Amino acid sequence: MHRWDRTLTLAGIHDAQLRGDYTRQRDLVSAYRRHAYAAVRLLLPSPLVPHVIAATAFMHHTDTLLEASPAGGRAEDACAAWEKEVRDALATGRSGEPVLRPLLHTVSVHPSLRGHVQEFLAGAHMDRDFTGFAGEADYQRYVDAYSLPAFMLIACLLLEPDAEPAAVRRLCRAYIDGSQRLDFVNDLAEDLCEGRLTLPEEALKHHGVSRGDLAQGRDTPAVRALLTELLAQARRDLLASRRLPRLAPPAHRAFTRAVIALEVLTADAAMAKGAGLLRSSARPSLPTALGILVREFGRRGR
């Protein structure tokens, strides 16, 4: 039996249509999140793998729709229609949408996911209506309303169901605060090309940096200081989340440790690239990233 077919069987997914849906989601996720997909396959128990992929694919599909749907007009109507379709599917347990059928099955196996899907949808307008952050407080509201609920779609599948809620929120929020800030800095060149400035304006003002400085790729001491400060904060938040694996079952801890370690590694690569981030994103070296996966593969279950 093909390894993926065996994974689906071990996860209790036997219906032919549903197996095809999960397989399409697997192909999608493996194409755009290669390191994360490799970590999922190597480090998580097979029965959980399709469910993590289904939640990730749903989040990616929704995020892509939001980015293509600026507020106003038909685009906003399309976004609202998707939200209604998801909520109707959750209410009835049925959908003709290939992205939602795996999600519905995963919700039936992991009921705690339902509430996180609803919370994620409730905050989706924050991303769709995004026009920039005036200050740090605006960024933090975005994290609370959209980034954290998005992360919880995955985290709720990884953590112990009876883990202390305050600790779960504190550590998950530390992780996603660091990860989101890192993404915004690391993807600065791409976002600016698309007309989005994702750094708080007050941070630019504090360092005497203009949007034009960033858009034109100016490597100045002020620009370097701005990027260094934001990346250092992201790294501190990521490191503050290192107790998160303790809230997961032993079989899930290697994966959770690897996810955090890979983000810290990316932050280090971004820090080393400096103002080069204004031209392209930073990525950790492949041997170093593989080293983390190999190390955690040897620590599975501990």
Whole-number mean pLDDT of the chain?
93
Q: What confidence category does residue 293 fall into, taking pLDDT thresholds of 50, 70 and 90? A: very high
Query: Does the structure show a pLDDT above 90 at 33?
Result: no
Query: Does the structure show a pLDDT above 60 at 75?
Result: no
Q: What confidence category does residue 72 fall into, taking pLDDT thresholds of 50, 70 and 90? A: low
What letters, b where the CB count within 10 A reaches 16 and e where it falls short, cover 140-176?
eebbebbbbbbbbbbbbbbbeeebeeeebeebbbbbb
Compute the average pLDDT of residues 163-179.
97
Q: Which of 94-98, 124-128, 177-181, 270-274 has the lowest mean pLDDT?
A: 124-128
Q: What is the pTM of this model?
A: 0.93
Query: Does the structure show a pLDDT above 90 at 66?
Result: no
Question: What pLDDT shows up at residue 139?
Answer: 98
Compute the average pLDDT of residues 252-276.
97
Compute the average pLDDT of residues 253-269.
97
Q: What confidence category does residue 206 fall into, taking pLDDT thresholds of 50, 70 and 90? A: very high
Write down the domain spans for the chain.
Answer: 1-129, 130-302
Q: What confidence category does residue 76 fall into, taking pLDDT thresholds of 50, 70 and 90? A: low
Q: Which of 28-32, 176-180, 190-194, 202-206 has the lowest mean pLDDT?
A: 28-32
Is residue 185 within 8 A of residue 234, CB to CB? The reply is yes
Query: Does the structure show a pLDDT above 60 at 147?
Result: yes
Domain 130-302 annotated CATH 1.10.510.10: no
Question: What pLDDT shows up at residue 2?
Answer: 84
Q: Among the ranges 1-5, 191-195, 277-281, which has the highest mean pLDDT value? A: 277-281
Return the CATH fold of 1-129: Farnesyl Diphosphate Synthase (1.10.600)
Compute the average pLDDT of residues 222-249.
98
Question: What pLDDT shows up at residue 239?
Answer: 98
Query: Does the structure show a pLDDT above 80 at 301?
Result: no
Query: Does the structure show a pLDDT above 70 at 73?
Result: no
Q: Tell me the per-residue pLDDT of 92-146, one tens digit each, with 9 for 90 and over.
A: 999 999 999 999 999 999 999 999 999 999 998 888 888 999 999 999 999 999 9
Question: What pLDDT shows up at residue 228?
Answer: 98
Say yes or no: do domains 1-129 and 130-302 share a fold.
yes
Q: What confidence category does residue 74 fall into, taking pLDDT thresholds of 50, 70 and 90? A: low
Question: What pLDDT shows up at residue 70?
Answer: 57
Question: What pLDDT shows up at residue 94?
Answer: 94
Q: Which of 122-126, 248-252, 254-258 has the lowest mean pLDDT?
A: 122-126
